Every structure is written in structure tokens, then in C-alpha cells.
């Protein structure tokens, strides 16, 4: 993606379109030299970071920080004054969507992980066997961003009274999901409020994950027992998924920053070292051996969708989080994207839509003419990276082309909402689900790209696209006590009443991501400015660190 920025650089072509071969040629003109050593943030001396070290933790406030709330309320008010009346009304509409979803959760599933709005029952979600308030943790920074401070306090009180004991259960949880949602959500709330309780709970959650790293090369296992940690008798750990073990960096680095404990950042720096050392011709496969810290075969499965996506996202965002000093991360990102382009994953359909295909079955096969909703995030990342390109016009064009392709997957569906995956050059046309998953599972990636491109380009069309999506959500996904997904965005599957068949679960990430991005796109960019904040892959904002430590 970013690589495209540079890929376009040297060419100085007049057309906005660039071929993959041109991109590769241009990219090779760019050189970024990674730092060979690291500096201690206290002494500013070059040090070996393999040994855990400590610096004084960040000072914080115990209890409710009313001063921060007043400060945030003023920012929200000011950001509203800087936008049009129509945008203010739309932002308020999204805020009421959040209130509707949150109220249903409070009424029927308080403390549970998620809500089943149609039946009015709690839903355990991805953390089956637990009752650890997933929706609370995922929703708090969205509520705070909207100025719903009393609702935040209700959630905080539940977490203070229950989370520690509720985590003391013998249940296997995903290290990746627990990190991006719980560690990320709690760190975000600490960054927004500077309240000590959020930091302490984030440390509690992160420490629950530490046994996952007790493997031969420090590559974490996919799941951990919340009570007992890692089964040390189990020695054959198998493969790890790139997008899972490669999506810990932002949270663990910030955790070291606020606690003074270097052990967290050392763990993720080790992951970066191991995985980048093992790349195959610049490519990173979706599956990585925990036992050997190598790829089992050179015939890698590569994708910017599921199993790959957030690894590339975090390489670029690590650079942003560092205050643009982690040039090593930036170079790794460029190199990875160069290799992806060379493999032909960037394609153009017969209808002229540009998209990233997948090689889920290995490099020896042609890229599939299919794009996942998950991969639509990449348009936003490319757009954010355009600032660092010698040819910003071409780079932004690529970003907007991807955004347009994902938009087409929405407008070509009867519901106005895009499917989980969509194909190209089919008998039914482009950007349509032709035999794949045609459901809408409340995912945020398309809106995410529209939000970032709205901030970067100032183009109003992204706000209009979001408003069309909001109207579709209200029409097809809103129920009495919340919002739900659809089994078929083409409205071919109906219930006994002839209504579109709905999925009875309100995903916590709908409140963490989808509604946050929809709200922010109608507010002035001073609210969670991209100069000061970096969003983790669950849309939990973490601060840019100046200076990076």
C-alpha cells in the first residue's frame, strides 16, 4: 500500500493510473535505513533492549477525572461548531444509534459479553464460557468520544467491581482478540481520561497474556487459559496466524510507555525481529511456525484480508505511533507491499474496479479474483500513507479506487450494505458475492476507509456514502433493542414474515468501530486528530508518543 506511494514516486507519469510493474520500479528508488541500535529513553544511550528494564510510570488520577471530562466536552462542542448544520445533525443521529445499542445491552445483557437483541438474551460471543463485559470494554471510548460520561461511569464501575474476579476462570481465549479489545480498549480509556484504574486493568489483562509467549522463539500461541496460562507439557505448538501474533505492537509499546515496564515492548520487538528475518522473498505468509520461527514452506498463503490484514496495518501504524521515528517499521511495510504487488495481488477487473486479490492456497496458484470485506481497510491505510509519497496524487488515487470498489460492493446489494466477500469478473458482474458469504456481520472496514479518506482528502462524498449506509442500517438492521447483522445483503433469505433474515447478535465491534467512525466522520478533524492519535485495529485510539520511548 504505502509502497504504492513510493512505487509511484519516481515515475512522474501524467496519468493517475499506475501499473504494478511501474510501481515496483518506482518503489526501488526509495531507501530507508532502519536503526541498528535502540536508545534508552532515560539516558539517551545506546542499549541492549533484550533485558527487561524499568523507567518511572506515567502519573495518573485515581477516581473520576472531571477535569478531563470538561476538556473533552469543550473539544466535542468546538468540533461541532466547525461543521455544517447537516453534519451536526448526522453526528447526533449516530450518537442516538449508540445510545439505542447501549441501552438494549444494559437492559438485557449487562455484564455479559454481547447482546442478542432480537431474543433479548445475553450472548457469550467469541469469549465463550466467560462473562467479562466485552461490550462494556469495547464501547467505553466511543461513549466517551460522544460525551456520554455518565454511561462511561456505569461501565467503569462494573469493570472495577467485576473484571478481576471474572477473569479468574479456566477458559481458553484468543490472545489476539483479548489484546485488541481488552488491552486496547482499557489503554484507550487511560489515554483519554488519565484515570489510574484503566491502566491497572490494562496491565491485569496484558499480564494474563504473557504465558502465551513462553514458546521456543517467543512467538505467542493463539489461545491462553485465563486462569492457568500455558500448558507447559504441550511442546508442539503448531502454526501461528500472521494477523494475530503480528497485531500486538501498538498496545504493548504503549503499555511499556505508561508503566515503565520494558518487558511488554521487548516481547513485540522480538516478534518483529523473528518474523521479518523469516520472510520469503519479502513476503509474509499467513501461517508461521511457532516451533521453528520459520515458514514451513516457500509456497506461502498471502492475503491482505483475513489472516494477514492487521499485520500490515500495524507495521505502518507503528511508524505513526512513534512520532514518525520508527523508520524500521516503515521500511518493513514498504518492502512487504513491494513483494505483494510483485506477486500480482493488486488487480483490475474487466469492469475497471481495482482490488486486492488473495493467494490463500499458496504462491504457486493465481490470485483469487475475490476481495474480503476485511481487506477494505487497506484503502484507508494507503490514504494515510500518501503524505510520505513523492507522488501523492497517484497514491491517493489508488486509495480512492479501493474505497470505490468497496463502495460498489455496497450499492450493488439490494440492502445497500456490502457482503462479507465479493468476486470480480463473474457472470453476475463485479464486486458481488457469487457463491461466497453474502452476509453482513456488522464489520467496520469499509466505513473505516471512508473515514480516513474523508480526513485525508476532505472529499464530502465519503460523508454521503456513510449516510447512505446509516439509512440502510436503520432500515434493515435496527431492531427494538439494538442492531444486528444480515444473513444475506441481497435480501434473498427471509423469515416467516417475509422480512430479511437477521443474525441475532449485536457485535461489540459495531459499537467500538462502526459507530465511532460514523460519528467522527461528521465531526471536525480536531476531534481525535490523526496528528495526535492512532487507532488500533479495534478502533481504540492510542496516543502518538512524543518523543517515542
- Count other C-beta atoms under 10 Å from residue 483's C-beta: 26
- Check residue 499 and report its DSSP letter: P
**Alpha-carbon distances of 228 from 168, 169, 203, 209, rounded to whole Å:** 9, 8, 17, 11
The residue length of the chain stands at 549
With respect to residue 13, please indicate whether it lies within any of the assigned structural domains. Answer: no
Q: Per-residue pLDDT for the chain (549 aa), expressed as one digit of tens each?
A: 444 434 334 333 333 444 544 444 443 444 343 343 444 443 333 344 444 456 678 899 999 999 999 999 999 999 999 999 999 999 999 999 999 999 999 999 999 999 999 999 999 999 999 999 999 999 999 999 999 999 999 999 999 999 999 999 999 999 999 999 999 999 999 999 999 999 999 999 999 999 999 999 999 999 999 999 986 544 567 899 999 999 999 999 999 999 999 999 999 999 999 999 999 988 999 999 999 999 978 889 999 999 999 999 999 999 999 999 999 999 998 889 889 989 999 999 999 999 999 998 889 888 999 999 999 999 999 999 888 877 789 888 999 999 999 999 999 999 999 999 999 999 889 999 988 899 999 999 999 999 999 999 999 999 999 999 999 999 999 999 999 999 999 999 999 889 999 999 999 999 999 999 999 999 999 999 999 999 999 999 999 997 644
| Alpha-carbon distance values, 512 to 6, 47, 134, 213, 466 (Å) | 33, 38, 10, 27, 17
Does the active-site annotation cover 503?
no
pLDDT score, position 14: 34
Three-state DSSP state, 358: strand
What pLDDT is recorded for position 335?
A: 85
Q: How many CB atoms lie within 10 A of CB 381?
A: 24
My answer on whether omega of the bond before 547 falls inside 30° of 0, hence cis, is yes
What is the structure's pLDDT at 237?
A: 78
pLDDT at 55: 67
CATH number where 305 lies: 1.50.10.10
Provide the domain limits for residue 498.
20-29+66-543
Q: How far is CA 534 from CA 321, 457, 525, 539, in A?
A: 6, 18, 13, 9
* Position 410 in a domain: yes
pLDDT at 314: 98
79 in a domain, yes or no?
yes
What is the gyration radius of the CA atoms in the chain, in angstroms?
Answer: 22
Question: In which element (H, E) is residue 356 found?
Answer: strand 354-356
- Inter-residue contact 104 to 481 (CB < 8 Å): yes
The CA distance from 421 to 432, in Å, is 8
Name the catalytic one among 114, 138, 269, 309: 309
pTM, entire model:
0.91
Q: At what angle do helices 2-9 and 20-27 cross, to 10 degrees?
A: 80
Catalytic, 177? Answer: yes
- When divided into structural domains, the chain yields a total of 1
Given the residues 372, 445, 448, 488, the one annotated as active site: 445
* Whether residue 504 lies in the annotated active site: no
| Bind-site residues for Ca(2+) | 537
Does 190 fall in a domain? Answer: yes
41, part of any domain = no
> Residue holding cell 491485569?
204
pLDDT, tens digit (0-9, with 9 covering 90-100), for 74-105: 999 999 999 999 999 999 999 999 999 999 99
Q: Is 445 a catalytic residue?
A: yes
Distance from C-alpha of 14 to C-alpha of 371, rounded to nearest angstrom? 29
Q: Which of 408, 420, 423, 448 is catalytic?
A: 420
Task: Examine residue 15 and state whether it is found in any structural domain, yes or no.
Answer: no
Q: Which of 177, 326, 335, 538 is catalytic?
A: 177
Q: Note whether residue 270 is domain-resident.
A: yes
Tell whether 299 is covered by a domain. Answer: yes
Amino acid at each position: 500500500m504505502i509502497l504504492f506511494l513510493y512505487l509511484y514516486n519516481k515515475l512522474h507519469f501524467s496519468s493517475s493510473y499506475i501499473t504494478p510493474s511501474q510501481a515496483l520500479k518506482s518503489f526501488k528508488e526509495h531507501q530507508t535505513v532502519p536503526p541498528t541500535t535502540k536508545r534508552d529513553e532515560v539516558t539517551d544511550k545506546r542499549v541492549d533492549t533484550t533485558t527487561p528494564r524499568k523507567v518511572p510510570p506515567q502519573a495518573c488520577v485515581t477516581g473520576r477525572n472531571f477535569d478531563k471530562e470538561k476538556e473533552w466536552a469543550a473539544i466535542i462542542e468546538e468540533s461541532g461548531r466547525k461543521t455544517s448544520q447537516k453534519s451536526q445533525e448526522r453526528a447526533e443521529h449516530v450518537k442516538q444509534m449508540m445510545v439505542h445499542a447501549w441501552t438494549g445491552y444494559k437492559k438485557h445483557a449487562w455484564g455479559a459479553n454481547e447482546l442478542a437483541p432480537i431474543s433479548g438474551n445475553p450472548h457469550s460471543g467469541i469469549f465463550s464460557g466467560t462473562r467479562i463485559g466485552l461490550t462494556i470494554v469495547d464501547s467505553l471510548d466511543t461513549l466517551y468520544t460522544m460525551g456520554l460520561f455518565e454511561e462511561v461511569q456505569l461501565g467503569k464501575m462494573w469493570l472495577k467491581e467485576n473484571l478481576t474476579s471474572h477473569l479468574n476462570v479456566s477458559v481458553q481465549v484468543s490472545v489476539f482478540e483479548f489484546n485488541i479489545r481488552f488491552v486496547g480498549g482499557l489503554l484507550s480509556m487511560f489515554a483519554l481520561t488519565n484515570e489510574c484504574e484503566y491502566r491497572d486493568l490494562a496491565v491485569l489483562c496484558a499480564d494474563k497474556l504473557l504465558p502465551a509467549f513462553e514458546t521456543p522463539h517467543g512467538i505467542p500461541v493463539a489461545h491462553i487459559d485465563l486462569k492457568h496460562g500455558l500448558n507447559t507439557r504441550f511442546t508442539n505448538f503448531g502454526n501461528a496466524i500472521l494477523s494475530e501474533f503480528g497485531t500486538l505492537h501498538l498496545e504493548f509499546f504503549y503499555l511499556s510507555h505508561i508503566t515503565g515496564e520494558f518487558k511488554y515492548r521487548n516481547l513485540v520487538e522480538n516478534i518483529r525481529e523473528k518474523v521479518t528475518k523469516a520472510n520469503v522473498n519479502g513476503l509474509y505468509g499467513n501461517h508461521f511456525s511457532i516451533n521453528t520461527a520459520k515458514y514451513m514452506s516457500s509456497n506461502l498463503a498471502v492475503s491482505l484480508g483475513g489472516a494477514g490484514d492487521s499485520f500490515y496495518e500495524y507495521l505502518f501504524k507503528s511508524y505513526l505511533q512513534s512520532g514518525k521515528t520508527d523508520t524500521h517499521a516503515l521500511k518493513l511495510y514498504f518492502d512487504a507491499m513491494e513483494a505483494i504487488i510483485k506477486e500480482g495481488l493488486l488487480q483490475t477487473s474487466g469492469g475497471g474496479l481495482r482490488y486486492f486479490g488473495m493467494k490463500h492456497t499458496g504462491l504457486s496458484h493465481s490470485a483469487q479474483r475475490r476481495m474480503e470485506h476485511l481487506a477494505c481497510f487497506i484503502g484507508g491505510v494507503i490514504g494515510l500513507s500518501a503524505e510520505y509519497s513523492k507522488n501523492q496524487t497517484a497514491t491517493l488515487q489508488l486509495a480512492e479506487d479501493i474505497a470505490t470498489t468497496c463502495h460498489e460492493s455496497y450499492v450493488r446489494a439490494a440492502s445497500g450494505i456490502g457482503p462479507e466477500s465479493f468476486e470480480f469478473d463473474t457472470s453476475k458482474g463485479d464486486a458481488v458475492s457469487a457463491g461466497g458469504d453474502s452476509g453482513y456481520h456488522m464489520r467496520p472496514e469499509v466505513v473505516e476507509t471512508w473515514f480516513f479518506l474523508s480526513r485525508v482528502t476532505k472529499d464530502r462524498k465519503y460523508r454521503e456514502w456513510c449516510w447512505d449506509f446509516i439509512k440502510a442500517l436503520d432500515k434493515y438492521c435496527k431492531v427494538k433493542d439494538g442492531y444486528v447483522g444480515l444473513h444475506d445483503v441481497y435480501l434473498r433469505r427471509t423469515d416467516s414474515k417475509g422480512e430479511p433474515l437477521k443474525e441475532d447478535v449485536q457485535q461489540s465491534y459495531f459499537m467500538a468501530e462502526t459507530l465511532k467512525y460514523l460519528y467522527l466522520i461528521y465531526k471536525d478533524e480536531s476531534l481525535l486528530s490523526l496528528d495526535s492519535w492512532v487507532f488500533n485495529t479495534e478502533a481504540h485510539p492510542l496516543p502518538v508518543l512524543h518523543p517515542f520511548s
